[in-house]
Amino acid sequence: MSVIRLALAQQPAPDDPSGRLSLLRQWCEAAAADGAHLLLLPEMWSTGYAPERMNAAHAWGDDEAILAEISQLADGLGLAIGFTYLARRDGALRNRLRLYGADGSVALQYDKVHVCDFTDGTETALQGGDGFVCADVELGGETVRIGAMICFDREFPESGRSLMRQGAELALVPNACPMREDAELGDVRLQQLRGRALENRFAVALCNYPAPQYDGASCLIDARGHLLAVAGEQTQLLSADLDLTALRRWRAEQDEVWGPDAQRPSCYR
């Protein structure tokens, strides 16, 4: 049985930017000590997803010093780190996930495609990404096909399907919104995400902000849509195991029935 261990850092960002790296190091060390192979942060953690910081003054280019330090942290601990930040690209601002591999290299980089323009102007200064991407990433001796969706991206079926068609086995979802206790939707977003996992036959790891900013519910969902682990609303480092052997067996079984691209049988056409 092949198993990878994920750590979801359901943690607020520090108000003082100088405390970011030391706090991240603390979580990464705890995750590595617990046997985790990958740690994921909530959406745009470099700004704490704060509207007043979503501007050029708080954006980072590729030469930002802290990014090199995070690379060294990943390499030193042998831990993949899914770091989220407000990025600067050719003068435009983007909502970015950069996944550092356990050797410190950039294994995957993804910019949020579906930028929100309905949250009191929070993301209106941002540019959407160019498309959905996947990469083969070494985790715990296993090569895992990983893709990403950031928050609002997961609301669109096409996002998950794009990753599925690229062979994604695990979708990373940094998040910043109510998942379980939305005033209008209740827990619909959480249940919708379970559907995304099932319909595309990949696992999903979502990391959200805790209360009082949002309502937590960071979680790991398997390829059948089962909740393997889900956090409460408070600050925590949630660890959960994903059985790759079971996931791959399930995918193979479903491919035999539906085809590798989930094409419908003729009776439904």
Out of 112, 116, 219, 233, pick the active-site residue: 112
**Whose CA is closest to 82, among 104, 58, 99, 107?**
99
123/103 Cα distance (integer angstroms): 33
User: Order of strands, edge to edge, in the sheet holding 106-111?
Assistant: 106-111, 92-100, 80-89, 38-40, 3-10, 236-243
What is the phi-psi region of residue 128: left when phi exceeds 0, alpha when psi lies from -120 to 50, beta otherwise?
beta
11, amino acid identity: Q
**Largest separation between any pair of C-alpha atoms in the chain:** 60
**Whose CA is closest to 106, among 57, 141, 148?**
148
119/48 Cα distance (integer angstroms): 15
41, amino acid identity: L
Out of 28, 43, 116, 134, pick the active-site residue: 43
Q: List the beta bridge partners of residue 88.
A: 93
Look up 267 and say whether it is catalytic.
Answer: no
**Whose CA is closest to 143, among 71, 248, 42?**
248
Q: Answer whether 143's CB lies under 8 Å from 136's CB.
A: yes
Look up 112 and say whether it is catalytic.
Answer: yes
Out of 28, 116, 151, 177, pick the active-site residue: 151
Look up 158 and say whether it is catalytic.
Answer: no
152, amino acid identity: F
Which residues belong to the active site?
43, 112, 151
